[in-house]
Amino acid sequence: MLINLEEARKIIDEQFSMKDIYYRYENVYNSIGKIILEDIYAIKSIPEVNLSAMDGFAFRINDYKKYGKLKIAGKLFPSSKNIPELKEREAYYVATGSPIPRGADAVVRIEACKVINNELIIGEEVYEGKDIKYAGEDIREGEIILRKGEILTPYYLGILTYQGITKVKIGNLNSCVIASGDEITPFTNPTENLIPDSISPILIPLLEKVGKANYLGVVKDDKESIRKTLVKSKDSCDIIFFIGGSSVGEKDYVKKIIGELGSLLFEGVSVNIIKRGGVGKIENKPIISLPGQVVSAITVFHEHGLHIISRMLNTEIRRFVKAKLGKDINVEHKMDSTYLFKLENGEAFPLRWGTGLYSELIKADGFGYLTRGRLHKRGEEIEIQRFL
């Protein structure tokens, strides 16, 4: 029996929750590509003090206006530790990146001035703040560097290293992926004349963002083989994704076996493309039954799988955006339908509709749902779940 999507979401919220074993603290340099499970704040400002943005001379604007010439009192470099207080009528030579003396409010570039008898003569108009990088201009102490649920990319390593942040909180989920089908062969060691499992290679790197992903290969469309695989995997896996055998055909055993071994929470939802995606539990281990068609499998993975993972990690890892339809769409299907969308300049453009279109999945930025029997007009705002 199919249920509506909101009911399925409510069931997931009620049935799954966080456990302490699902996260760990890991060295930041080993965590690239992982989803971060807590907000990371700046420990100190960048820069910590006012710095010179150019090679030149630091001075006080009012002294320059009053005296016209300024006495050069010393030199400062990026390695300088003792920052002097600027006295009246003084200027300091400053190298790029060096601290400027306290009280200075401008830097004149070295090529725009000249020095005669240790006195500075400025040859251009200057203003307060000229060529100064103020303390905290880049990052302020206490500011969020990386938000909970975002992916740690290499571009964060510079600032995290500067801050002295060496460990981050990441997922520790032990995920398992299993495919089924008499015509399917494992992608890791394909058998000639059989179809390689082409969905698991997509899921594995996505699941590695929240922990360890294990590929358990392919099982035949045989009830006892599927049962043995699920019984064995439930002991070593925190969450299981089972691809194939999710429909209502003669050899679609997966959901029946989940129900026999544990509980089938729902067998599907009344939305096209994702309708055969089911969710169950065996000894409190979530089992997500994914259709064997690629678009269906990936959208069910994002809709139900990432919802469950978000609950288990106590971190929202799904990404939703609002966009305006880029063209009219008349939904003539008998139920609400899932569409793949390409996002461009705040508009969502629908791609070809279908359950197994590999080429469209490559182009898509995410997916959304449109109501059956309606003409959705260009400019209408819809919600898109972006692909992870």
Q: What is the 3-state secondary structure (H, E, C) of 165-231?
A: CCEEEEECEEEEEEEECCCEECCCCCCCCCEECCCHHHHHHHHHHHEEEEEEEEECCCHHHHHHHHH
Higher model confidence: residue 192 or residue 174?
174
pLDDT tens per residue, range 81-133: 999 999 999 999 999 999 999 999 999 999 999 999 999 999 988 999 999 99
Phi, psi (rounded to 5 degrees) for 359: -65, -35
Domains of the chain (ranges, CATH numbers): 5-23+171-313 (3.40.980.10), 51-133 (2.170.190.11), 320-386 (2.40.340.10)
Judge whether residue 386 has pLDDT over 70.
yes
Residue 235's pLDDT is what? 87
Judge whether residue 15 has pLDDT over 80.
yes
In this structure, what DSSP letter does residue 357 have? -
How far is residue 2 from each of residues 72, 237, 288, measured CA to CA in Å? Answer: 81, 27, 15
Judge whether residue 54 has pLDDT over 90.
yes
Report the percentage of the chain scoring pLDDT > 90. 88
Integer-rounded Cα Rg, in Å, for the chain is 30
- 266/277 Cα distance (integer angstroms): 9
Q: Quickly state the pLDDT bin for 18 (edges 50, 70, 90).
A: confident
Report the percentage of the chain scoring pLDDT > 70. 98
Q: Name the token pair of 356.
A: 């197994």
Judge whether residue 211 has pLDDT over 70.
yes
Decide if 255 contacts 280 (C-beta within 8 A). Answer: yes
Q: Name the token pair of 192.
A: 């000639």
Nearest to 94 by CA among 56, 48, 45: 56
